[in-house]
A and B are shown apart, each in its own frame.
Chain A
Amino acid sequence: MFYRLSGIHHTRYASARQLWPLPADRWQVAAVFVLAVAAPLYMSDLYLSSYMLPWLVWSTATLALTLLMGVAGQLHFGFGAVMAIGAYTSIHLTQAGVPFEFALLAAGLLAALIGCLFGAAALRVKGLYLVMATLAMQFLVDWVIVNVKAISGGAVATLQAPSVEFLWLPVDTLVARYYVALLWAVIVTLLMLNIKRTSFGRALVAVRDKDFAAAVIGVNIFKYKLLAFFTSSFLGGVTGAILAFCFYRAVTPQQFSFDISIQLVAMVLVGGLGSVIGAFLGAGFVLLAPIVLLNIVAPLVEAGWLPVSASLMAHIPLMIYGAMIIGFLLFEPLGLAKIYDNARKYFLVWPFRHTQS
């Protein structure tokens, strides 16, 4: 009833193969887009700056990582380092006077090049060993950033983001920063939605499923693994730069530590490997669940109903975060995207019960 499947037939291949063949889906996407663009109008500054903006940027980062982990099947536990490279590069370049757009591109390129070095490990090993290799590289990059004064800015170790202009419009108000982040999120989302329709995406999927079988049918796995790392690191580097400019407006080494890498992997897994909607859902869930639960628990504690010390209360979000990861993996390993998918399939044929799609 909601999706109006009846009466929809396609007479051309182009319309049958579009991303959202159902009009209801297209309306849904359009509504979400309008809501996102109009957000500064109806959202308070607090919600916009503390919830919406980080959610957008982290979803983009999750999309970049899911390209690598979900579509190409390469495990990467050092994505925080890739974002750090992008962030530091962009800040140094803009402080040297390079225009913002070029700084972003350069940040992405440098992150991609170094990300390819990470990827070189993927040419050697798979699975757990790749996890370990990327972990080790994360620590190396962390150490280099902290100890090389030219990069991290010395003992004070915080670099402020200068005010910049994007396409001749100054990026200094919250709304302007929000739109820059939104623009980047839209670009990456479009890329990810279409990735599996390109030969590049299909090659990545082949490499993920069984790489030597892909080699047998003529897919150059060396090239595609490196390309996967390159693309994903480029996107990650630019996202790191956007994070530094639009959200933190400063950059410190701790912003991109090992815990952030783990958080990104958690977002990908909780959302669902390889799915676009899953990236947004997973990022939102991992970001917001601890805050939401803390906001619920805090007034209870302050009112004296829960006899919990401030110290234990401070540990509760950590416990919830860990329990959440465990819970998702135990009960729905395919993530929030699968739950969303189940719900959508249910409503496709509601009030009937079965669907074929």
Chain B
Amino acid sequence: MRHSIRTLIGSGLAGAAILAAGLAGGAAHAQDKAPIKAATLLDFTRVYTFLTDEYSQGQQDYVKLLNLEGGVGGHPVDLIVRDQGSQPQQGIALYNQARDEGAIFFDFLSTPVANAVMPRANEDHLPMITFAHGRADAIDGQRFPFVFPSAAIYRSQAALLLQYMDEHGGLKDKKIAFVHIDSPFGREPIALLEAMSKTKGFTLKTFPYAVPGTEQSAAWTDVRRFRPDNVIIWGAGPGQAVSIRGAISNGISPKSIYSVIWLSETDMRSFQGDAVVGVKRFTAVNTGADSAILKRISEKVVAAGKGTGDAKVVGSTYYNIGVASMAIMAQAARQALDKLGPPLTGDKLKAGFEMIKDFDAEGLMPPLTITDKDHQGGGWGRVSEWDGSKWVPLNDWGHAYQDVVWQLVREDAEKAAKEAKK
């Protein structure tokens, strides 16, 4: 194709102008000290899509509420929301950019990206949260001073489900099937389950299915022949509904299905009628729009038309988890500003996190206590059951077998120390 030279020069100049604007645009935010900048660099387009929209909506609505109510100690909170597509290189580039824009807090909601950015965040002294996901050994505050899971990690979740089973029917001589997605996330609790199977005397069998979990019939055929007493499903997104369908069509009662935290109302509502009543799930944060913060969000933000996204989502599982993640950060910031004074830096925010004691976000979550050694907050959670239209909690907030969890963390640390550099 022949290009007239005029179009070539014109497009070249336009291209240069756009390039300059684009490269400068990212860093052109004013370097204010007053607003507290939090960067939520999530995965909107790839692996975590089933969760990110609602999660981000919760975060943004809560930040709007915070700013309406005067911010954190008078400082408004500035939320930076970008997409990293669950790709580490994109995550690193966005992290660098957000850091240079003055962000002092990070949330990635993506295990590969969080893992890739962790060493940099530790070097730069900027805290990040990995709420209910990410590496298990990140709960060790000594090895990962700037990473705050702030919620039960996968091993603690599995431990709590086991404890519930123990209290309701016992575990000795039972058969537990662990049906999981074949990824690091899916394999994370296996170490704990195997350790517990020896001490509690149950038979564990694992059934992996291929990523992305859309076709699991072979695994469930195998599960049926194992004739388990209880089934734990450990997947995320569309795979969860496929798992439940697989379980029920292979004759497993919904009441003996236990799931990881990533099971939402959307997944359950795809089933008709009473088919899935009784499915249980680990819950880290209350669902529903009844708690104090959710009520204020509904009144001041959503009703005033400032809500981010669909009003029907308010109060759903992932929305509330988003609200909780921001609430924890706000509490840490508040305490840091109170005790250490402005301006807020990464180190002060880290200290603020470690000051959190019995914080429950006005009834939204279990009492969280983070110390400089324990960044998990105790591994609190509870078991909820689906009653056909919503999740109903079955017991009180509690935590289980944390001694086993920490033992495994110590073993991970020893292994890492062996392969560490100078």
Contact = CB atoms under 8 A, between A and B. Distances in A.
A155 B421 CA distance: 20
Chain B facing A: main interface SS: helix
A50 B96 contact: yes
A343 B53 contact: no
Nearest to A317: B83
Contacts of B221: none
Interface in A241-282: 247-250, 252, 254-255, 259
Interface string B1-45: 101010010001000001101110111000000000000000011
A315 B45 contact: yes
A162 B119 CA distance: 12
Given A158-B116, A310-B60, A255 B88 contact: yes
A315 B18 contact: no
B175 interface: no
Contact of B45 (A255, A292, A299, A318): A318
Contacts of A331: 1
Contacts of B188: 155
A292 B421 contact: no
A295 B112 contact: no
B116 A248 contact: yes
A342 B18 CA distance: 22
B29 to A, nearest CB: 9
Contacts of A255: 87-89, 116
B97 A46 contact: yes
B187 interface: yes
Nearest to B186: A155
A311 interface: yes
Nearest to A162: B421
B387 to A, nearest CB: 30
A120 to B, nearest CB: 27
B303 interface: no
A156 B5 CA distance: 54
Given A292-B18, A292-B23, A160 B60 contact: no
Main secondary structure of the interface of A (DSSP, over half): helix
A313 B308 CA distance: 13
A155 B52 CA distance: 23
Interface in B183-197: 183-184, 187-188, 190-191
A310 B18 contact: no
Given A46-B96, A160-B119, A247-B92, A310 B81 contact: yes
B81 A250 contact: no
B200 interface: no
A43 B14 CA distance: 23
B3 A288 contact: no
Contacts of A154: 415
Contacts of A249: 119-120
Contacts of A315: 44-45, 83
Contacts, number: 131
Q: How large is the interface on B (under 10, 10 to 19, 20 to 34, 35 or more residues)?
A: 35 or more
A104 B144 CA distance: 30
Contacts of A342: 3, 8
Contact of A51 (B23, B135, B412): B23
Contact of A158 (B5, B27, B100, B115): B115
Contacts of B92: 50, 247-248
A346 B53 CA distance: 50
A339 B5 CA distance: 10
B56 interface: yes
A311 B310 CA distance: 12
Interface string B68-98: 0000000000000111011111001100110
Contacts of B52: 311
B53 A293 contact: no
B422 interface: yes
B53 A311 contact: yes
Given A155-B184, A157-B184, A314-B44, A50 B97 contact: yes
B100 A155 contact: no
B309 interface: yes
Contacts of A54: 89, 93
Interface in B134-162: 135-137
Interface string A71-97: 000000000000000000000000100
A310 B93 contact: no
A182 B159 CA distance: 50
A35 to B, nearest CB: 16
Interface of A: 45-47, 49-51, 54, 95, 146, 153-158, 160, 162-163, 247-250, 252, 254-255, 259, 288, 291-296, 298-299, 309-311, 313-315, 317-318, 331-332, 339, 342-343, 346
Given A252-B112, A311-B44, 8 more contacts: A155-B188, A155-B190, A160-B421, A255-B88, A291-B22, A295-B21, A318-B85, A342-B3
18 contacts: A95-B421, A155-B191, A156-B115, A156-B184, A157-B115, A163-B422, A255-B89, A288-B22, A294-B22, A310-B44, A310-B81, A311-B52, A311-B56, A313-B83, A314-B44, A332-B1, A339-B8, A346-B5
- In the A-B complex, the 10 residue pairs with the closest CB atoms: A292-B22, A162-B421, A314-B44, A314-B83, A295-B25, A158-B115, A295-B22, A46-B100, A295-B26, A157-B184
